[in-house]
Structure 1
Amino acid sequence: MAKARVVHVCSACGAEASKWSGQCGDCGAWNTLTEVVREPLPKGPRAGGYAGQAATVTALKDVRIDVQERRIATGLSELDRVLGGGLVDGSVVLIGGDPGIGKSTILLQTLTHLAASQRALYVTGEESLTQVALRARRLELPVDGLSLMAETCVERILATAQAELPRIMVIDSIQTLYTEALTSAPGGVSQIRESAALLTRYAKQSGCALFLVGHVTKEGALAGPRVLEHMVDCVLYFEGEADSRFRLIRAVKNRFGAVNELGVFAMTDRGLREVSNPSAIFLSRYDQPIPGSVVMVTREGTRPLLVEVQALVDDAFSNPRRVAVGLDQNRLAMLLAVLHRHGGISSLGQDVFVNVVGGVKVLETGSDLAVLLAVTSSLRGQALDADLVVFGEVGLSGEIRPVPNGQERLREAAKHGFKRAIVPRSNAPKQAIEGMQVIAVGRLAEALDAL
């Protein structure tokens, strides 16, 4: 019988090394190599059918496509939005977030709702059955129909699932599971990878929709090997500030829907509640307009979202600082250079702080114009109109570039009562929008003159 061998596996990229070193030779990450006992593979044919289909060659034109793909509503419309319209049979969803942010809460809410019409199984590896029952009672959730199981062995979980045949199953969490085929401790790279592979294979073959809860590192990324994200169909990140009651669920991978879709929830004493109009919570209400504040229309997935961008420009006592919260800090430095060169407004010798209200992370370039107008407003000490909304990308030569879905952004702003809009010339509507004056600009100087 072949002997087990010891290898060192990088937790960031999954690369293997024969001996330990401080830096991974493949991805360059530091202090990520962990010792793993590599067990010999059993002889004979291995279990196949990963996708639940026979391993045969089929012509693409002969593949049957179910046009009416069945979706299972989770009972939370914001979660359905992030998932692409609901759960798909046989899908595997990996959800990660900081400790205590509400991962177990939202999944317990979802399963108690689905258990009324579907067979559901909640597998906990971190809490006892009593703790789960106490949480359900505290949240006043219906408990009829939901089955619980406290287990960390993958083989026992799969044996129970094959006997119970649940339609939806939750594993909380993947870091606590282990497979008897390996001797390494639970939470290691090999245990996480093999456990996830066994569960994913079962989901594909049985059609059971599977939720996996994953821990995150101190940097906010999912813990464990990156191959874990490639195995699953959907990866969701639970975001939220420690002092805020709002929680955001962002999809970074979705094989059944749009990527970067955003769901907004509010944490209450009865669990997580949906926020049907998220633009309202990201807009501050002032008695009178204040300098350094402007509203922009960003786009998260398929939904336009109004957020407030604030800027503060003040004299620097030492080296000038450029700080961006919710935006790319390197892009802020580039935009300030464009403002100086093509707008004639200098921020040399001054600190510049830019913040997106509500803890939203704006990843698109459509926020460029809003950032520059907010910085100009704070620098000059002149407040912008409260009914003004802006969006647009700013190029290095000072041109204002268009952004996708400009018409939808304008309609969303008009629905919230905004009367004026400064937009790129290519995003100007062909037909006038009732109650809104649209100012189309092509250069940064034109946008500053329009103020």
Structure 2
Amino acid sequence: MAKAKKSVFFCQNCGYESSKWLGQCPGCREWNSFVEETVSAGGKAAPAKGISGSEGRTGKKNEPVRLAEIQVREADRVSTNMEELDRVLGGGIVPGSMVLVGGDPGIGKSTLLLQVCRQLTIQGHKVLYISGEESLRQIKLRAKRIGEFNEHLYLLCETNLEIIRSTIERLKPEMVVIDSIQTMYNEEVSSAPGSVSQVRESTGILMQIAKGLGISVFIVGHVTKDGSVAGPRVLEHMVDTVLYFEGDRQLAYRILRGVKNRFGSTNEIGVFEMREKGLEEVKNPSQALLNGRPTDASGTTVVCSVEGTRPILIEIQALVTRTNFGLPRRTSVGIDYNRVNLLMAVLEKRAGIRLGDCDAYVNLAGGMKLGEPAIDLGIVLSLVSSYKNQVIDEGTLIFGEVGLSGEVRGVSMAETRVREAEKLGFTSCIMPKTNVEGIQGKYKIKLIGVSNIKEAMEHI
């Protein structure tokens, strides 16, 4: 006898379940996030299998283990031979971990994971690539563009999780790629693939496989229009690592950013460049991003932002011009729009520069996106340079946080920023005065300490 079906409403943001539609989710307080799904009445989920190790797989009862008895070695990590990816992962792939990779369509998620598969198979690791979106021939065409593959890579086009589970248990690969989680479905869940219930249950089954068999699982996740992974927020809570692949499809550079990482820092980023033969690592992003910089133009400055342990030098461009309309236009690319408006208000109030009747356009060159406060001083001086039509010396690096009183506050890792600037040939550095004291005299580069934006304006 077929089971009766009923309608249940799920929150797309956090997975909260309700028997009726609600305007606001009681769990995460998000508005208009409930969607209706049909489930089997009285249906029970399959019992979870042991995921603690070999004891759970053999059917033995799991027993508590003393923390001191557990042996962990950093050497257990598997290197991908891609320094940019290893840096974001915290040193390599941890066996038994689950990694979620999200990004806009066409940004290069599948290409990146196929390149990881190639590097691992070169080392002799057995890898299984499971696709629910592409045929075997389509994957083969992309693989031919990337390079030669050996016999350690296996391909499977399947969306049924029971077939996938039996294939993994039979093949016993060391790494599995699921492309993508929104196409997978569990027969015990009656809702459509990609729904909240299917994504949650599918991730749960894959987590059991990863933890129980000690297999590293990479999951590709589609993103919504606001840039977050589609499906319930609980998906990000279940996995060990969440990586976002960012960038503009019209530009060459791609940023791999760690949002969550149980085995490493979440501040690290990896920089890649999309080429004809796939993604290529950018090991010195500062030099790459500064190539082609104008040498005799007003409104341009070079700032230094630190992402994790890596200093990145990047050019900020500003264009300030008189407006032809009653309401001036403000536009920013790669920088928080509200932050630019705040800094322009500080310039008007503390430096006496009238920007109320000017259009202002601020751009971060190279398609990068930065939000560190240390680039504030560079934005301010770019605006001043364009407003006064004064060219800032191309050998000058600028960094510092600007407060609402116009003061320039100290930033972290100032010595690392100065060292990177000297390595790339810069001759002077405008920086917070509080940071100069500890590193004065250590480097050949000229250090100019400023305490407020007026002092900084005098040096340009």
TM-score relative to the length of structure 2: 0.92
- Partners in 2 of 1:56 and 1:138 — Cα distance? 49
Residue 292 of structure 2 aligns with which residue? 285
1:226–1:286 distance in 2 versus 1, CA, 3 Å = closer
Counterpart position of 1:380: 388
Q: Which residue of 1 aligns with 2:401?
A: 393
2:92 alignment partner in structure 1: 86
Pairing partner for 1:446 from 437, 455, 458? 455
Q: TM-score, normalised by structure 1?
A: 0.94
- Cα distance between partner residues in 1 of 2:458 and 2:51: 61
| Residue in 2 that maps onto 1:422 | 430
**Cα gap change, 1:303 to 1:288, in 2 (>3 Å):** closer
Q: Aligned residue for 2:446?
A: 437
How far off is 1:241 after superposition?
Answer: 1.2
Aligned counterparts of 2:271 and 2:52: Cα–Cα separation in 1: 32
User: 1:89-124, CA deviations, whole angstroms, 9 ceiling, x for partnerless residues?
Assistant: 111111011222211111111112212311111111
Could you say what the CA RMSD is over the residues aligned between the two structures, in angstroms? 2.1
One-letter identity of the residue aligned with 1:85: G
* 1:369 and 2:377 are equivalent in the alignment: yes
TM-fit CA distance, 1:309: 0.7
Q: Could you say which residue in structure 2 is the equivalent of 1:359?
A: 367
d(CA) in 2 for partners of 1:288 and 1:273? 28
1:58-77 to 2 correspondences below 5 Å: 62=68, 64-77=70-83
Q: Which residue matches 2:183?
A: 176
User: Are 1:341 and 2:342 an aligned pair?
Assistant: no
Q: For residue 412 of structure 2, what is the aligned residue in structure 1?
A: 404
Alignment map for 1:242-281 (pairs within 5 Å): 242-281=249-288
Give the whole-Å Cα distance in 2 for the aligned partners of 1:433 and 1:449: 25
CA distance in 2, matches of 1:17, 1:28: 14
SS in 2 for 1:135: helix
Moved more, 343-352 or 90-99: 343-352
Within 5 A, what are the aligned runs for 1:290-301?
Answer: 290-301=297-308
Structure 1 gaps of 5+ residues are none
| Contact 1:265-1:273 within 8 A present in 2 as well | yes
What's the CA shift string for 1:43-94, capped at 9, x where partnerless?
9x9324344477655565x463514342111121111111111101111111
CA contact (8 A) 1:284 1:308 kept: no
Q: 1-side partners of 2:353 and 2:368: how far apart?
A: 28
CA distance in 2: counterparts of 1:431 and 1:138, whole angstroms: 51
Cα distance in 2, alignment partners of residues 285 and 10 from structure 1? 48
| 2:238 aligned partner | 231
The 8 Å contact of residues 94 and 213 in structure 1, kept in 2 or not, is answered as: yes
Shift of 1:368: 0.8
Equivalent residue, structure 1, for 2:19? 18
* Distance 1:41-1:294 versus aligned 2 partners, 3 A rule: same
Q: What is the aligned-residue identity percentage?
A: 46
Secondary structure, aligned partner of 1:126 = coil
Are residue 315 (structure 1) and residue 322 (structure 2) matched?
yes
Unaligned runs of 5+ in 2: none
The match for 1:9 is 10
Question: Contact conserved, 2:440 with 2:447, CA < 8 A, in 1?
Answer: no
Dislocated runs of 4+, deviation >6 Å: none
8 Å contact kept, 1:97–1:216 = yes
Deviates more, 1:232-241 or 1:45-54: 45-54
Give the deviation of 1:449 after TM superposition: 1.9
Q: Is contact 1:121-1:147 (8 Å) kept?
A: yes
User: How big is the shift at 1:141?
Assistant: 2.6
How far residue 24 of structure 1 moved from its aligned partner, in angstroms, is 4.2
Match of 1:147 in 2: 154
